[in-house]
Amino acid sequence: MSWAPGDHPRDDLAVYALDALEGAERAALEAHLATCPECQEDLMVYRETLAFTVEDEEPPPDLWDRIVDVIDAHLDAEIGARQSEVDAGLDDAWLDDAGLDDAPVGDETLPPAEPLTPVPPVPPLSPVPPLPPDRRPVEDLPGADVEPPRHLRPRNPRRRLVALVAAAAAIIAVVAVGPAVVDRISGDDDTEVVSPDLPRGTIAAEDGTPVARVEADEQGSFVDLSDATPLGADRTYQLWSLDGPQPESLGLLGLGGDDDVRVTLPAGTTQVAISDEPASGSPQPTGPIVGTGSLALPS
Amino acid sequence: MLVTADRPPEHGAPTDRPTPPPAPARSPRAARMADAGPVDDATVVAALVEGDGDALAEIYARYGGAVWGVAKRVCGDRTLAEDVTQTVFVELWRRPQRYDPTRGALRPWLMAQAHARAVDTVRSEAARQRREDREARFAAQPSPDVEADVHMAAMSDGVRRAVARLASDERDAIVLAYFGGHSYREAAELLGAPEGTVKSRIRRGLSGLRRALESEGMTS
């Protein structure tokens, strides 16, 4: 559905403001909204009106801690994973030589690489997520106004972010100069290096339908989600170890699709599951378990 | 293409953190903001975009209660509401540039994000059973009026008076959709009214609600 110039879907806009419009009607309204300042203004007024109808309430006292835990985990994952990529493929001195430690945060300039073959222009990096907030009360921190947040000590937060930028740059550089790496990871190369120390297995739904496969290459374990039903943007697949007394999260796997997802499995992981969770993940499974599986070392 | 899994939180692991404060602590940066005088929301969000994670603590201190409030009202379940609130703030941290200060104030924008996620949650299959259990506490088959009354009971006096000024069919349509998380089609079915009629009632009702809130002195 579309509307003529000067014609506005006023009823649908009001329904949309209540999140009560679905499917094709919602998509059509959003398409109109993207180009109509008048309807954007009306939506703003509707939202302001609705906001007045809800009282603020005191959130649970531990909720802020949970939020910071998730953010910490995101940062640790990005740094750890990207650092391991760097360690695997690049000399650390390369980063120092590139002068990245002195780069301002958010600087998207890439270091000079030494391409093995002519390479296409390197795409810009995604914006680096900002640092997580400090949850500690100021009064509990002597000299708090100069002390970096707990989760960043003893490392300098800016150096940490710079490391993130550098690691991301390194990954892009590796991909740019080595398309064979990508081919091997995607399983198109018969010369794939087998990693006998890493377990593999299929994760299947209750009816036996394969949902995902845990695989491994010379760089470690990864999950192939090409058989999983793609999720909406507000959800994520999450991988769990079932070997302990309660499920232990092994990582957020994203929305599903053709991209394999690198994971780190604790030694001895044998029983795993995948669940459908809110986009920020969950400390314990809350969404439906979409599949379970057993992992074993290749014979 | 190979991507890397987001590392999960290590819940339950030993931690060197002190006991968290009962309310979000103002970070050192936020404290400096406060010392320098009132800082508007756009400035705080701009700090977040620039990579100042402390700005998120400030935003949570300002609007965590509003996000939690709308999430709890729509979800009707603390666990689900916690997930919604967490998602809203983690998403704000990940993509703060999604908020455009030229398109309205931060509080209603955050509440709209929370409402959209809360509605997705209550419509999901996993949440449906909990929701039905909750509704069963009020009536085996709650009428639209009963459901609207339940939601109105949670409103402040001024808002309840403003909502009560609306025509009952407009009020029921808005309350069922906004607080009940029903699509307009579901609301039409519950109300036994044509879908197009319900759409019109929602638009008239929202406009009337704005005027009623203004007359209650609640929109300034």
Contact status of B177 with chain A (Cβ, < 8 Å): yes
Chain B hits for A281, Cβ within 8 Å: 6, 8-9
Q: Give the pLDDT score at A192.
A: 45
Task: Take residue A241 and report the two structure tokens written for it.
Answer: 């170890």
Bridge partner residues of A34 (DSSP): none
CB-based burial label for A43 (10 Å; 0-12, 13-18, 19+): buried
Contact status of B53 with chain A (Cβ, < 8 Å): yes
Q: Which amino acid is at B10?
A: E
Give the strand order in the sheet containing A260-263: A248-254, A235-241, A271-278, A289-294, A201-204, A210-217, A220-224, A260-263, B2-4
Which chain A residue's Cα is nearest to B173? A15
Task: Identify the residue among A25, A44, A54 best suited for mutation to test binding to B, counting B beta carbons within 10 A and taking the highest.
Answer: A54
Q: Which ranges of chain A does DSSP label H, i.e. alpha helix?
A: 10-17, 23-33, 37-51, 63-89, 92-97, 157-177, 179-185
Q: What is the pLDDT along chain A (299 residues), one digit of tens a residue?
A: 666 667 899 999 999 999 999 999 999 999 999 999 999 999 999 999 999 999 899 999 999 999 999 998 888 877 776 667 666 655 444 444 343 333 333 333 334 333 343 334 433 343 444 444 444 333 333 333 333 333 332 223 333 333 443 444 444 444 333 333 333 333 344 444 556 678 889 898 877 788 899 988 877 888 988 888 888 777 888 898 888 767 788 888 888 877 788 888 887 888 888 988 888 888 777 877 888 888 888 76
Cα–Cα distance measured from residue A244 to residue A83, given in angstroms and rounded to the nearest whole number: 28
Cα four-point dihedral sign A273, A76, B20, A58: negative
In A141-180, the residues whose Cβ lies within 8 Å of chain B are: 141, 144-147, 149-150, 161
- Concatenating the DSSP letter of every residue in B120-179 gives HHHHSHHHHHHHHHHHHTT-SS--HHHHHHHHHHTS-HHHHHHHHTS-HHHHHHHHHHHT
pLDDT beyond 80 at B209: yes
CB-based contacts of B76, cutoff 8 Å, min separation 6: B122, B130, B131, B134
pLDDT one-digit tens code per residue, B71-121 = 999 998 899 999 999 999 999 999 999 999 988 999 999 999 999 999 998
| 3 state DSSP class of A289 | strand
Q: How far is B65 from chain A (nearest CA, A)?
A: 5
Chain B hits for A72, Cβ within 8 Å: 9
ipTM above 0.85? no
**Taking CB atoms and an 8 Å limit, are B87 and A134 in contact across chains?**
no
Q: Which ranges of chain B does DSSP label H, i.e. alpha helix?
A: 28-35, 41-49, 54-75, 78-94, 106-123, 125-136, 144-153, 157-164, 168-178, 184-191, 195-215
- Concatenating the DSSP letter of every residue in A135-196 gives -S-GGGSTTTTTSPPGGG-SS-HHHHHHHHHHHHHHHHHHHHH-HHHHHHHTT--TTPPP-T
- C-beta of residue A220 within 8 angstroms of C-beta of residue A264: yes
Crossing angle of the two packed helices B184-191 and B168-178, in degrees rounded to 10: 130
Task: Identify the residue among B33, B74, B93, B97 best suited for mutation to test binding to A, counting A beta carbons within 10 A and taking the highest.
Answer: B93
Cα–Cα distance measured from residue A149 to residue B53, given in angstroms and rounded to the nearest whole number: 10
- C-beta of residue A47 within 8 angstroms of C-beta of residue B109: yes
Q: How far is A199 from chain B (nearest CA, A)?
A: 17
Task: Take residue B76 and report the two structure tokens written for it.
Answer: 């009707």
Q: Provide the b/e sequence for A82-93 (b: ≥16 CB within 10 Å).
A: bbbbbeebbeee
How far does Cα B66 stand from its chain's mean position? Answer: 7
pTM above 0.90, yes or no: no
Q: Which residue in the set B55, B84, B109 is minimally distant from A47, CB to CB?
A: B109
Q: Which amino acid is at A120?
A: P
Cα–Cα distance measured from residue B114 to residue B72, given in angstroms and rounded to the nearest whole number: 10
Q: Give the pLDDT score at B37.
A: 54
Chain B hits for A182, Cβ within 8 Å: 1-2
Chain B hits for A54, Cβ within 8 Å: 66, 69-70, 73, 111
- C-beta of residue A228 within 8 angstroms of C-beta of residue A203: no
Cα–Cα distance measured from residue B52 to residue B45, given in angstroms and rounded to the nearest whole number: 9
Q: How far is B214 from chain A (nearest CA, A)?
A: 10
Chain B hits for A125, Cβ within 8 Å: none
